[in-house]
A and B are shown apart, each in its own frame.
Chain A
């Protein structure tokens, strides 16, 4: 010790213990001071590990939510397309039926008209039939 202090003198065991304590702290400090500075990197790694874990967790959660939403949206879209196609099919069938009905009606009208109105060449045909009989 550099100066006398109360209680320091006359106590051999205390002196010895304090000297050993000083040597111990110095030895520990020297060893710690000259160690390779791995602890800082380890601490940093420890600190970013949970952050990366959280980030990955968030990405996975967001991915599954987005996937679910996309799947739902896709299904809804497909159902809409199917409904539009069915409606279109129904419209086409109705139009085809209407066209067929119109054609049948026109054919019937033509038939009726041709029965009621004599052919323009009918008198000439009758004359020719009379000449042939003579």
Chain B
């Protein structure tokens, strides 16, 4: 049963149907977030979509076994992180195969910025900053990148990041510290 989901006691629908409805709601709420995390991790639209689909397929298969020890989001994020890890591992193992790499480059990824109330100069400055952060993120290790994105893009708590990655909070802090040091270095400040 998913954590934080209330079930109407007067509802007489079959348990399978209820579980299905509950899962559909979880998909509706969390799918954009999982997709965003995978897109930021891979910078590849097609791969992010594929992994998001796989993530929810896996979650659907195991939904009845979800006991709610963590939030549904943390559980889904853990599945997504493992799928991404498997993907890169398989790619490394199959290095002799010609695999497609549709990842957009750092400059292209930096083009996305909401215009808001900014002046053209501010927009340009923001774009430069975003490009530098992307460059730093591209140089991070897989684990550092995951922790960094969960913290600074998904705005997750340290405890949630630890639960999603299977690391201790201390290790998460250490990875974050190193990742931030690299971002600072890229921005031209002290690292």
Contacts and interface: CB of A to CB of B under 8 A. Distances in A.
A33 B52 CA distance: 11
A104 interface: no
Contacts of A22: 152-153, 155
Interface string A23-67: 111111111110000011001000000000000000000000000
Contacts of B181: 7
Contact of A18 (B48, B152, B173): B152
A31 B187 CA distance: 27
Contacts of A23: 113-114
Interface string A1-29: 11101111001011011101111111111
B153 A20 contact: no
Contacts of B110: 24
A100 B134 CA distance: 108
Interface residues of A, number: 30
A39 B109 CA distance: 18
Contacts, number: 92
A3 B158 contact: yes
A40 B32 CA distance: 17
Interface residues of B, number: 35
A26 B152 contact: no
A17 B153 contact: no
B187 A13 contact: yes
A40 B50 CA distance: 9
A21 B134 contact: yes
A35 to B, nearest CB: 8
B112 interface: yes
B39 A21 contact: no
B126 A20 contact: yes
B46 interface: yes
B40 interface: yes
A27 B40 CA distance: 11
A1 to B, nearest CB: 7
A18 B153 CA distance: 8
The 4 closest A-B pairs by CB, nearest first: A28-B112, A29-B36, A17-B129, A21-B133
8 contacts: A5-B176, A7-B184, A11-B189, A20-B113, A20-B129, A22-B155, A30-B32, A39-B45
